Amino acid sequence: MLGNNKERYGWISIAMHWLMAIAIIGMFVLGIWMVGLEYYDTWYHKAPWIHRSAGMLLLFLLIFRSVWRLTNPVPEIMGAWWEKIIALWIHRGHYLFMFAVIISGYLISTALGKGVDLFGWFEVPALLPADKGRETTAGTVHMYLAWAFMGYIGMHAAAAMKHHFIDRDITLLRMLGINNNKGEEDEN
């Protein structure tokens, strides 16, 4: 099943969730590593180029994922009424964080008025004129947002573990593509 229904996530949603989770955590680790590089390190220019290019790919995937989420049903959220309200706002917060982190990164990358080279395939143009001060401001915002988002992701993962190990419901199993009713792998 590619699309979602009211009981379960489809394979497209599952793949986007895990691909983006791995990519975002990888981007965070790469970002932490690259800011500590010395000017004469061979990765000093290559790591930021990879980070920027991957960030733009994440933006395109996030746009697709947002449209997909708006055009597909979402399985019912598990838990008490207050958990459902919190989960709804947490999911919305994920999208806001992802857009904010990526856009702040884009503002850093285009602060000199140049576009972002996407792995040599094409260039994402700079939408604003050059402004050296924007690079510093956006860089600070980007760093704090990235750290806050990692905390947010940690809480999200902890909530998934709580649902799985304490509540013993199928919340986590649905995002792993496991059959909701039997606890077996989905054959579809």
> Which pLDDT tens digit goes with each residue over 125-169?
999 999 989 999 999 999 999 999 999 999 999 999 999 999 999
CATH numbers and ranges of domains, the chain: 11-175 (1.20.950)
Share above pLDDT 70 across residues of the chain, in percent, rounded to a whole number:
95
Report which of 140, 116, 136 is spatially closest to residue 127, judged by C-alpha positions: 116
Q: Which of 46, 64, 54 is nearest to 28 (CA)?
A: 54
pLDDT for residue 79: 87
The DSSP H or E segment spanning 57 is helix 43-71
Which of the residues in the chain have pLDDT under 50?
182-188
Round to whole Å and give the CA distance between 73 and 70.
Answer: 8
Torsions phi, psi for 179 (to 5 deg): -55, 125
Residue 177: what are its φ and ψ, rounded to 5°?
Answer: 80, 20
Among the listed residues 63, 70, 50, 49, the one whose alpha carbon sits nearest the alpha carbon of residue 20: 63
Q: What is the pTM of this model?
A: 0.90
Which of these, 106, 98, 99, 103, lies nearest to 150 by C-alpha position?
98
